[in-house]
């Protein structure tokens, strides 16, 4: 090889090597010094002491007393309710539309002003009254025309509803009836879109205030979430998990973005879903979790890089306790032989190109 060719090849090699090492977070078991010196990141090793820090885990705040302590009072009628009035032995009053019609066709709607009309009883103000109060008043008025009337009152349609929104399979509003409705019953009736829902982010909005109810955390380790009774006007929103992702890149079998619907996901779970470390190219001592890389956060404080030496057997226990957060990037660095092989794959085609160019130049001079 001529001297100019050797010089060009050496220059190409140095550039390729610099590019090769520069594209990775690390070339050894700890991140490059220039990352630490420039303040771009803060490097923290994953140790038992770190995992003992409460700030490393996402703590679920206890549910407020105004939610868990609420119990519905005796049901009171309201505008929009549909009543079925049964007067025994008087089908002309009980089913004026005919017995062949659906039950609701014989119902009596409570009007917006809180009143409803019934034959022989006239117009009655019923909003705010209990079912028993309405039954007693009806029986008293009908007694003027019927002998000892036997009256029954049932609510078959409610004007009070709970809105179900978000990642449910059925978002039809649910009626609040004389039978109390709990949050768990409402979620069960609406049905959860299992692959799309974020079970940790359910929001219950009541009287202008929103409460986060982490269904996943509340039902872990054999515990059962306390009953939360709903009331008319409540809004239940179950968010989708499309923005709740962690990213696994580098020397893993299947680099991927992972959605999760639970409160958290461990480093072990994320690596497992990515197929684990690539046995031929990965460097076990170069596993990193990069957190806080969005622009707004980095203006206030540097990103944090958590480093795990996965060559140690203890690392498996540590990784299983390290909880990832949405937006985290898990990076697995390459082994030394992998970097060298990639360097060769980049340099050798370039040196061949330079050799061909030199040979062509010599052929031109010999013409």
pLDDT digits (tens, 9 = 90+) for 293-335: 665 444 556 788 999 988 777 788 899 999 998 889 999 988 8
Note whether 297 and 261 are same-domain residues.
Answer: yes
Whether residue 132 lies inside any domain: the answer is: yes
Domain end point (choices 215, 238, 261): 238
What pLDDT is attached to residue 38?
Answer: 46
Q: In 209-335, which ranges are continuous DSSP H helix?
A: 215-218, 267-273, 295-300, 314-321
Whether residue 77 lies inside any domain: the answer is: no
More reliable by pLDDT, 217 or 4: 217
Q: Taking a C-beta distance cutoff of 8 angstroms, is the pair 201, 238 a contact?
A: yes
State the total domains in the chain: 3
Note whether 126 and 53 are same-domain residues.
Answer: no
What pLDDT is attached to residue 191?
Answer: 94
Res 259 pLDDT > 50: yes
Note whether 323 and 249 are same-domain residues.
Answer: yes
DSSP-derived 3-state class of residue 186: helix
Whether residue 365 lies inside any domain: the answer is: no
What pLDDT is attached to residue 24?
Answer: 40
Note whether 215 and 267 are same-domain residues.
Answer: no
User: What is the CATH classification number for the domain harbouring 90?
Assistant: 3.30.1950.10
Whether residue 287 lies inside any domain: the answer is: yes
Task: Assign 98 a pLDDT band (cuts: 50, 70, 90).
Answer: low
User: What is the CATH classification number for the domain harbouring 301?
Assistant: 3.10.560.10
Note whether 257 and 323 are same-domain residues.
Answer: yes
Note whether 251 and 324 are same-domain residues.
Answer: yes
What pLDDT is attached to residue 367?
Answer: 52
Share of the chain above pLDDT 90, in %: 34
pTM for the model: 0.68
Note whether 230 and 294 are same-domain residues.
Answer: no
Strand pairing report for 151-157 and 161-166 = unpaired
Question: Considering only 7-11, 250-254, 324-328, which range has the smallest mean pLDDT?
Answer: 7-11
Note whether 87 and 141 are same-domain residues.
Answer: yes
Task: Assign 171 a pLDDT band (cuts: 50, 70, 90).
Answer: very high
Write out pLDDT tens, residues 23-46: 344 434 455 433 444 456 788 899
Task: Assign 102 a pLDDT band (cuts: 50, 70, 90).
Answer: low
Domain end point (choices 207, 223, 238): 238
Whether residue 26 lies inside any domain: the answer is: yes
**CA-CA-CA-CA torsion sign (332, 334, 335, 338):** positive
Note whether 253 and 308 are same-domain residues.
Answer: yes
Q: What's the mean per-residue pLDDT of the chain?
A: 79
Whether residue 269 lies inside any domain: the answer is: yes
Q: Taking a C-beta distance cutoff of 8 angstroms, is the pair 334, 250 a contact?
A: yes
Q: Taking a C-beta distance cutoff of 8 angstroms, is the pair 237, 168 a contact?
A: no
Q: Which of 35, 38, 22, 52 is nearest to 305 (CA)?
A: 35
Note whether 153 and 164 are same-domain residues.
Answer: no
What pLDDT is attached to residue 210?
Answer: 93
The whole-angstrom separation of Cα 132 and Cα 150 is 13
The whole-angstrom separation of Cα 269 and Cα 288 is 15
More reliable by pLDDT, 79 or 28: 79
Find the domain containing 90 and state its range: 82-157
Q: In the chain, which ranges are continuous DSSP H helix?
A: 3-22, 33-38, 48-51, 65-68, 91-94, 131-142, 183-190, 215-218, 267-273, 295-300, 314-321, 336-366
Task: Assign 184 a pLDDT band (cuts: 50, 70, 90).
Answer: very high
| Adjacent-strand bridge partners of 282 | 334
Whether residue 308 lies inside any domain: the answer is: yes
Q: Is 348 exposed, middle or buried (0-12, 13-18, 19+ CB in 10 A)?
A: exposed
What is the phi/psi pair of residue 130, to 5°?
A: -80, 165
Note whether 31 and 100 are same-domain residues.
Answer: no
Ramachandran region, residue 20 (left: φ > 0; alpha: ψ -120 to 50; beta: rest): alpha
What pLDDT is attached to residue 271?
Answer: 93
Res 16 pLDDT > 80: no
- Return the H-helix or E-strand segment holding 156: strand 151-157
Note whether 168 and 152 are same-domain residues.
Answer: no
Domain end point (choices 188, 211, 238): 238
Task: Assign 349 a pLDDT band (cuts: 50, 70, 90).
Answer: low
């Amino acid at each position: 090889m001529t001297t100019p060719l050797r010089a060009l090849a050496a220059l190409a090699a140095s550039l390729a090597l610099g590019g090769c090492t520069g594209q990775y977070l690390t070339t050894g078991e700890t991140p490059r010094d220039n990352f630490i010196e420039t303040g771009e990141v803060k490097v923290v090793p994953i140790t038992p002491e770190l995992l003992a820090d409460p700030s490393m885990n996402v703590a679920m705040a206890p549910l407020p007393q105004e939610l868990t302590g609420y119990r519905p009072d005796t049901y009171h009628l309201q505008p929009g309710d549909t009543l079925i009035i049964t007067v025994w032995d008087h089908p002309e009053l009980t089913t004026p539309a005919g017995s062949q019609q659906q039950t609701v066709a014989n119902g009596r709607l409570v009007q917006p002003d809180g009143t409803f009309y019934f034959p022989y009883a006239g117009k009655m103000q019923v909003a705010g009254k209990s079912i028993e109060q309405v039954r007693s008043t009806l029986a008293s008025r009908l007694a003027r025309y019927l002998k000892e009337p036997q009256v029954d009152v049932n609510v078959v349609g409610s004007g009070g509803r709970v809105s179900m929104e978000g990642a449910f399979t059925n978002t039809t509003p649910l009626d609040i009836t004389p039978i109390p409705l709990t949050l768990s019953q409402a979620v069960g009736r609406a049905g959860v879109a299992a692959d799309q829902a974020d079970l940790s982010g359910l929001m219950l909005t009541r009287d202008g205030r929103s409460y986060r109810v982490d269904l996943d955390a509340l039902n872990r380790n054999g515990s059962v979430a306390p009953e939360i009774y709903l009331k008319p006007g409540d809004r239940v929103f179950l968010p989708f998990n499309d923005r709740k992702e962690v990213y696994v890149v580098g020397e893993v079998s299947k680099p991927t973005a992972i959605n999760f619907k639970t409160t958290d996901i461990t480093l072990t779970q994320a690596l497992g879903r990515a197929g684990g470390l690539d046995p031929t190219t990965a460097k076990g001592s170069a596993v990193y979790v990069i957190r806080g890389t969005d622009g707004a956060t980095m203006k206030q404080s540097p990103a944090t890089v958590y480093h795990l030496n996965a060559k140690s057997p203890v690392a498996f226990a540590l990784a299983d306790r390290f909880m990832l957060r949405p937006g985290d990037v898990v990076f697995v660095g390459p082994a030394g032989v992998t970097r060298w092989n990639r360097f060769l794959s980049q340099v050798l085609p370039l040196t061949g190109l330079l050799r061909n160019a030199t040979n062509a130049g010599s052929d031109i001079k010999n013409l």
